Structure 1
Amino acid sequence: MDAIAWDAPDADHPARRAARASMTAVAEGRKADWLALFAPDALIEDPVGPSFLDPEGAGHRGPEGIENFWNSFISTIAGFRFRVADSFAGGPCCANVATITTTTPDGATMTIDCVLVYTVDEDGRITSLRAHWEPDRAMATLTTP
């Protein structure tokens, strides 16, 4: 199975291009390419609101915060599969209805049903990535080898 299954509208849009580039870089483990997609003052909220990943719910802002997010969370996952079922682009934003399946180094998997909202600036760089998902629902899908 490909790391990204795009089963959604794919008309060209700057935020949709950024979303696809972000997913591809994550799936391929290309940290430098992923970091380069973000504007200097960008904010990642993944998930939106307080969670075990971000107890205060403040998100991860700027180059240092976004790199720390990669190092603390993305880099700990051995594999990502993205399936985008629908995509809505307008203005500077694109909202994607997606399912992300993660696999840890020991083979455990988790499925995250989510809505990923990307906002870009006039240069197409991501200014905001807001991932709407419920950690309890995702944890309920955890399977161990």
Structure 2
Amino acid sequence: MTVTNPDAPVHLAGKRSREAAIAHDKDAWLANFADDAVVEDPIGPSHFDPEGKGHRGKEAISKFYDMAIAPSDLEFDFVETYQCGNEEANIGHIVIKSAGYEVKAEGIFTYRVNDEGKIVALRAFWELDRATASARKI
């Protein structure tokens, strides 16, 4: 993956987010977010977010972590990265291993940070039905 500016605050915040999720380090993952941040993963209604409004604020983001990240082993494979100001879009996929299954979520994964380099928005554009169709027993 080629990144225009690997030292950009948004890129570093995204990298910290992924590393903390892989390491199952909830405290580090949450510390990377601004207090008023939103996580939409995936965007729209899902079993993690039936109303499709996103997880807003640290308490809601913490609950999302417990539902989606804690029980899973994750692998990130981003093949393209586009940086624009305080935002970054990554094209690729995430492999999610949980409960004896592996699912591949292909899409666009975006981060936006504030002036302090804290994530204010983590948004994941992936289709639940396509990811579910990729499920295989491991």
TM-score of the superposed pair, with normalisation by structure 2: 0.95
Write the letter of the residue equivalent to 1:99. Answer: H
> In 1, distance between residues paired with 2:68 and 2:122?
15
Give the alignment of 1:128-143 within 5 angstroms. Answer: 128-143=121-136
- Identity over aligned residues, as a percent? 36
> In 2, distance between residues paired with 1:14 and 1:34?
16
Once the two structures are TM-superposed, the CA of residue 53 in structure 1 deviates from its matched residue by 2.0
Distance 1:86 1:132, change over 3 A: same
**RMSD in angstroms over aligned alpha carbons?**
1.1
Once the two structures are TM-superposed, the CA of residue 132 in structure 1 deviates from its matched residue by 0.5
The residue that corresponds to 1:4 in the other structure is none
Aligned mate of 2:83, from 86, 89, 97: 89
The ranges of structure 1 where at least 4 consecutive aligned residues each deviate by more than 6 angstroms after the TM superposition are none
Write the letter of the residue equivalent to 1:60. Answer: H
**Contact 2:48/2:64, CA 8 A, preserved across alignment:** no
Aligned mate of 2:66, from 51, 66, 71: 71
1:25 matches 2:20: yes
Once the two structures are TM-superposed, the CA of residue 104 in structure 1 deviates from its matched residue by 1.4
TM-score of the superposed pair, with normalisation by structure 1: 0.90
Q: Which runs of 5+ in 2 are unaligned?
A: none
1:14 matches 2:9: yes
CA shift digits 1:95-136 (9 cap, x unpaired) = 111211111143x10101021110000000000011100000
Size of the aligned set, in residue pairs, is: 137
CA shift digits 1:32-76 (9 cap, x unpaired) = 000000000000011111122211101001110000000111111
Aligned mate of 1:42, from 26, 34, 37: 37
1:112 matches 2:101: no
Once the two structures are TM-superposed, the CA of residue 8 in structure 1 deviates from its matched residue by 3.0
> In 1, distance between residues paired with 2:99 and 2:47?
20
**Contact 2:108/2:124, CA 8 A, preserved across alignment:** yes
Once the two structures are TM-superposed, the CA of residue 10 in structure 1 deviates from its matched residue by 5.1
